[in-house]
Amino acid sequence: MSGATEGVLVERLSAWYGRVQALKEVDMDVPPNRVTAVIGPSGCGKSTLIRCFNRMHETISAARVCGKVILNGVDIYSPEVDPVQIRRSVGMVFQRPNPFPTMSIFDNVAAGIKLTRFHRGSELAESVERSLRRAALWDEVKDKLKDSGVALSGGQQQRLCIARALAVDPGVLLMDEPCSALDPIASYKIEELITELRGDYTIVIVTHNMQQASRVADHTAFMLAGEDGIGKLVEFGETKQVFTNPRDKRTEDYITGRFG
Amino acid sequence: MIVRSYGWRKAKSLVMIALVVACVGVALVPLVSILAYVTVRGATALNFAFLTQLPKPVGETGGGMANAIVGTLILLGLACCVSLPIGIFSGVHLAEYGKGWFSKLVRFITDVLTGVPSITVGIFVYTVIVLPMRSFSAIAGGIALGIIMVPTVTKTTEEMLRMVPRSLREGAWALGVPRWRTIVSVVIPTAAGGIVTGILLAVARVAGETAPLLFTALGNRFWHSGLGQPIAALPLQVFAYAISPYDDWQAQAWAGAFVLTAMILIVSIVVRIVARGRHITTR
Amino acid sequence: MTIVREGMKIISATKKRSRLRGENLPDVTFRLVALAFAGLIVLLVLAMAIAMAKSSWPAIQQFGLGFLVGRTWDPVFKNFGALPFIYGTIVSSLLALLLAVPVSLGSAIFLAELAPAWVRGPISLMIELLAAIPSVVFGIWGIFVLNPWLRTSVEPMLGNNFGFFPLFQGPMYGLGMLSAGLILAIMIVPTITAISREVLMAVPNSQREAMLALGATRWEMISKAVVSYARPGIVGAVVLGLGRAVGETMAVTMVIGNRHEISASLFAPGHTMASVIANEFSEATYNLYLAALVETGLVLLFVTILLNALARLLVWRIAGGPKGAQRE
C-alpha cells in the first residue's frame, strides 16, 4: 500500500509519566503524505509527543495520556480502539537502530508481516524485497539476507529498521531522532531516504538537528518546556515560515541559537 | 496467504499470560507447603527441653538437640576461620590487583567451586583430613563448610570493594598513604557493611549443609569434647531422626528442621532489610 | 636447580615491576599475600581433583572404563559398576528439568515482564529465600508429605491412566525415581527462576519497543523479542539448575528409596551418584569399596564442573558479567 491519505490530528494532548507531566495541551494538524519535523531542546517532550501517536507512550509503566489523536477519522484513544492495531498502521523507527539480533536480515524485515499472516515463501520474499528496496537497502544486502541483522553498519541497521517498519504497510511513519546515533554520511542517506518516501507516507520526524529539519521537512513544529518543565507546542507551520519568519519570539531565539 | 485474525492473536496472548501467572502459582505451592509443614509440625514438637537437653536413648521420650545446635554454631565458627582469610584476601586480590590472566583464572575457578556438589567437598576433606587424622572431627567438618563458603565470600568481597569510589583511594594516595594502608584502613572499612552482609548470607547458607558433614563431622549424641572429636550438627541430627522409624524421633526431626529453617530465614531476612536500609545491593 | 633459577628470575622481574609501580616493601608483601590466597583457591580445586583421583586409584585400576558401564554394584563380591547410579542421576535430573523448566521460565517471565513492582519485589524475595532452605528440610518434607501423596494419589492415577507405559508400571511405594525427580524440580525452580529473571531483565528495552511498534501483542513481544534474545542466558540458567540437580544429595537420598538396580519404571526405587555416596560411604569397610565410592564422586565432580563452566559461559554472554554465582 502506498499513497496513504491520513494525517494525524492532535487535540489538547497531554501526557504524564506518573505524577510528572511531560506534555501539555498540544494541538496540531499533521498533514498527510508530507514530512513533519518536531524540533526543540532536549526534554521538551518531542519524543513523548510522537510516542503518543502510536500509543507507545503507555507501554512505560505509570504513563498516562489525555486528549485526542485522530487518525483516519478515529480517535486512537477512544475505548474501543486497540493499541496493538493502531501500531500496525503507524510505524516507528527509534533513536538507536534496534534490529532483532537473533534474526537474519530477511527475518527482521519479515517479523512484522509474520505476526499477522502465514505466507507462502515467494509472497513473503516479494514483500521483504519491496520493503528493502523502498528503504534503499536492497542492493547492499541482497546477497546476504541470511546474515544476522546486527552484522550491518549502524546506518544500514537503521535503514533495516525502516524497512522493517515499512513492511507492514503503515500509513504513518514516526521517526524518533533516527540519525542521532549515526555518522554524517549515514545520516545523509537516511535524509535522502526520507525525501524519497515523502508523498507515500505521512512522516513525523523528531530531531534535535535544525539543519536536518530544514532540509527534509515540509512542516515544522517547535516545542519548548516551560518554566514548570512541561513541554508545550510553541509554533507549528510550514518549515520555510518557521525558520525564516517565526511568529513566536521563543522560536526565533531558538533558531538563531540565542537559546538552549 | 492465510490471515491470522487479530481476535485469535489476542486470545492467544491472554491465554499465554494466564499460563505464565499459573506458573508462579505452581512454583509457589510446594514452597509454601514446605514452609507451612515445617512451621506447624516443627512448632508443635518444639519445647524448652528440645533447646536445652541432650538426645535421649532409643525408647526414652523427651530430650532435645541442644548439643546439635551448639555443634552447628561451633562448626560455623570454624568454617569462618577457614573461609574468611581466603575469601577476603582473594577478593582484595581480584578487586585491587585483578587484571591479568591469573585473576581471570581465579574468577573462573571460584565460579567452578560454587557449582561443586557439597558432597564431593565432604569426600575431599575425608581423604585429606579425616584419614590422616584417623578420626572424624569438628575440624574436618568446619573445613568442609569453610571450603563451601570460600567462593561466596570471595565474590562478595570483590563486588563490594569495586563499589568503593576511586576518588576515595586517590584521596588517600594523595596524602602519601601507601597502597596497602589505603586498602586496609580506607577501602575495606568503607565496604565493610556490604562484606559483612555477604558473609552472613553465606553463613546462613552453609548452616543447613548436611552432605559435607556426613563423613567429616559425623555427628555425636553428646556435648562436644574437643575439636579433634566428632561433633553433632543440627542438619545431621535432623537427617538421622527423619529417616529413623520412631515417631518421637521423627517429631524431633521436624522440630530440628523448624529451628534450622527459622535460623537461616531470620538471618537472611534481617540482613537483607539492614542492607537495603544502607542502599547496598545484595544478591 | 632450574626451579631455583626460574624463581630468581620471577623475583627480580617482580622487583622491577614493583619499582615501576612505586611500591615499597609492605606494599609488595600485601599484594603477594593477597595473590597467595587467591592462588590457594586454584590449588584447592586442583587438590580436590588430585586427592580424589588418588583415593579412587584402586578402583580405576581394577575396573577401568568398565566402572562407568558396569551394572552390578556388589560390595560382597567386590564388584563395582556405577551405571545404575549414573542412570539414576540422569533420569532424576532430566525429570526435574522437564518439570521445573516450564514453571521456572513462566515465573521468570511473569516477574520480569508482567508483574507490577509491588508484586515483583515480595515474590522475588520469596523465591530467593526459598533457595536458602536447606536440602535436609526438603528431604523431611519429601518423606512425610510428598511421598505419601505420591503413593496414595499421583502414582495410582498415573498407573491407571498411563499404565501401558513401562514408565508407570510396578508397585507404588511413593519412594522412588518419580519422587526424587519431583523434589529436585522443586529445589531447582528458585535457581532457574532467579537467573532467568535477571537474564530477561537484561534484555534492552529497545527490543521490546521494536516488536511492540510492529503491532505485536504482549505475548508476541515476549516470545519473539524478549525470550529469543535471552535464549542463551536462559539455557545457561537451565544448565546451572541441572548442575544443582545432579549434585543435590540429601533430599534425594531421603526420598529415592536406595536400590542398586536400573528399572524402567519411575515408581521404582533407585540411587543417584550423590545418594549412593551419602548412603554407603561410612559403611565402606575395605579399600576398594571406598575407592569405588570416591570414583563415583570424581565422576560427579567432573560432570558438575563441566555443566557449570558451560552454564556460566552462556549466562555471561547475555548478562554481560558473572551473575547468579551464589551457591544455593
Does B104 contact chain A (CB < 8 Å)?
no
Do A91 and A151 form a contact (C-beta atoms < 8 A)? no
The alpha carbon dihedral of A192, A193, A198, A204 has a sign of: negative
Q: Domain limits of chain C?
A: 2-55, 64-319
A143-152: pLDDT as tens digits: 999 999 888 9
Distance CA A242, CA A233 (A): 13
Q: Per-block average pLDDT, block size 10, for chain B (283 residues)?
A: 78 96 94 94 92 87 91 96 96 90 92 92 95 94 97 94 90 88 91 92 94 93 89 95 92 96 93 70 40
pLDDT at C324 (0 to 100): 35
pLDDT at C325 (0 to 100): 34
Question: A interface mutation test: which of C214, C220, C317 has the most A CBs within 10 A?
Answer: C214
Q: How far is B180 from chain C (nearest CA, A)?
A: 5
Q: Give the neighbours of chain B: at least 3 Cβ pairs within 8 Å.
A: A, C
SS3 B59: coil
Confirm whether A161 is domain-assigned. no
C156-171: pLDDT as tens digits: 999 999 988 888 988 8
Q: How far is B20 from chain A (nearest CA, A)?
A: 19
Checking if the pLDDT of C173 tops 70, the result is yes
**Average of per-residue pLDDT across C290-309:** 94
Fill in the DSSP letter of residue B211: G
The answer to whether the Cβ–Cβ distance between C215 and A164 falls below 8 Å is no
Could you give the residue ranges of the DSSP H alpha helices within B164-246? Answer: 166-174, 179-182, 188-207, 234-242
Question: Which of A194, A230, A178 lies closest to A20, judged by CA?
Answer: A230
Q: Domain span at residue A42?
A: 8-100+172-255
SS3 string of chain C?
CHHHHHHHHHHHHHHHHHHHHCCCHHHHHHHHHHHHHHHHHHHHHHHHHHHHHHHCHHHHHHHCCHHHHCCCEECCCCEECCHHHHHHHHHHHHHHHHHHHHHHHHHHHHHHHHCCHHHHHHHHHHHHHHCCCCHHHHHHHHHHHHHHHHHHHHHHHHHHHHCCCHHHCCCCCCCCHHHHHHHHHHHHHHHHHHHHHHHHHCCCHHHHHHHHHCCCCHHHHHHHHHHHHHHHHHHHHHHHHHHHHHHCCHHHHHHCECCCCCCCCCCCCECCHHHHHHHHHHHCCCHHHHHHHHHHHHHHHHHHHHHHHHHHHHHHHHHCCCCCCCCC
C9 falls in which pLDDT band (50, 70, 90)?
low
Contacts of B26 in chain C (CB under 8 A): 103, 106
Do A37 and A239 form a contact (C-beta atoms < 8 A)? yes
A121 falls in which pLDDT band (50, 70, 90)?
confident
pLDDT at C199 (0 to 100): 93
A237-249: pLDDT as tens digits: 999 999 999 999 9
The answer to whether the Cβ–Cβ distance between A84 and C117 falls below 8 Å is no
Domain count, chain A: 1
> May I ask the CATH architecture of the domain C64-319?
Orthogonal Bundle (1.10)
Contacts of C244 in chain B (CB under 8 A): 115
Checking if the pLDDT of A1 tops 80, the result is no
Confirm whether B68 is domain-assigned. yes
A198-233: pLDDT as tens digits: 989 999 999 988 999 999 999 999 999 988 889 999
Q: Which residue has the cell 575440624?
A: B139
Q: How far is A227 from chain C (nearest CA, A)?
A: 31
Contacts of C320 in chain A (CB under 8 A): none
Of C44, C244, C278, the CB nearest to B211: C278
Do C175 and B71 form a contact (C-beta atoms < 8 A)? no
Of C117, C207, C216, the CB nearest to A98: C207
The answer to whether the Cβ–Cβ distance between C144 and B250 falls below 8 Å is yes
Q: What's the whole-model pTM score?
A: 0.89
Confirm whether A71 is domain-assigned. yes
Of B13, B178, B235, the CB nearest to C219: B13
Number of other residues whose CB lies within 10 A of the CB of residue B170:
11
- For residue A53, the domain's CATH number is 3.40.50.300
C228-252: pLDDT as tens digits: 999 989 999 999 999 999 999 999 9
A62-112: pLDDT as tens digits: 899 999 999 988 999 999 899 998 999 999 999 999 999 999 999 999 999
Lowest mean pLDDT: which of A172-186, B3-17, B162-176, C1-15?
Answer: C1-15
The answer to whether the Cβ–Cβ distance between C127 and B102 falls below 8 Å is no
Contacts of B1 in chain A (CB under 8 A): 117-120, 123
Confirm whether A199 is domain-assigned. yes
Domain count, chain B: 1
pLDDT at B16 (0 to 100): 96
- For residue B254, the domain's CATH number is 1.10.3720.10
Does B9 contact chain A (CB < 8 Å)?
yes
C104-121: pLDDT as tens digits: 999 999 999 999 888 998
Confirm whether A249 is domain-assigned. yes
Does A211 contact chain B (CB < 8 Å)?
no
pLDDT at B282 (0 to 100): 39
Confirm whether B104 is domain-assigned. yes
pLDDT at C257 (0 to 100): 93
- CB-defined contacts A:B, below 8 A: 21
Checking if the pLDDT of A2 tops 70, the result is no
Do A169 and A90 form a contact (C-beta atoms < 8 A)? no
pLDDT at C322 (0 to 100): 38
Contacts of C213 in chain A (CB under 8 A): 54, 56, 87, 91-92, 94, 165
Average pLDDT over chain C, rounded to whole?
89
Q: Domain span at residue B189?
A: 62-277
Q: Give the neighbours of chain A: at least 3 Cβ pairs within 8 Å.
A: B, C
pLDDT at C287 (0 to 100): 93
Strand (E) or helix (H) holding B184: none
Q: Look at C158 and C6; give whichever has higher pLDDT.
A: C158
pLDDT at A196 (0 to 100): 93
The answer to whether the Cβ–Cβ distance between B94 and C123 falls below 8 Å is no
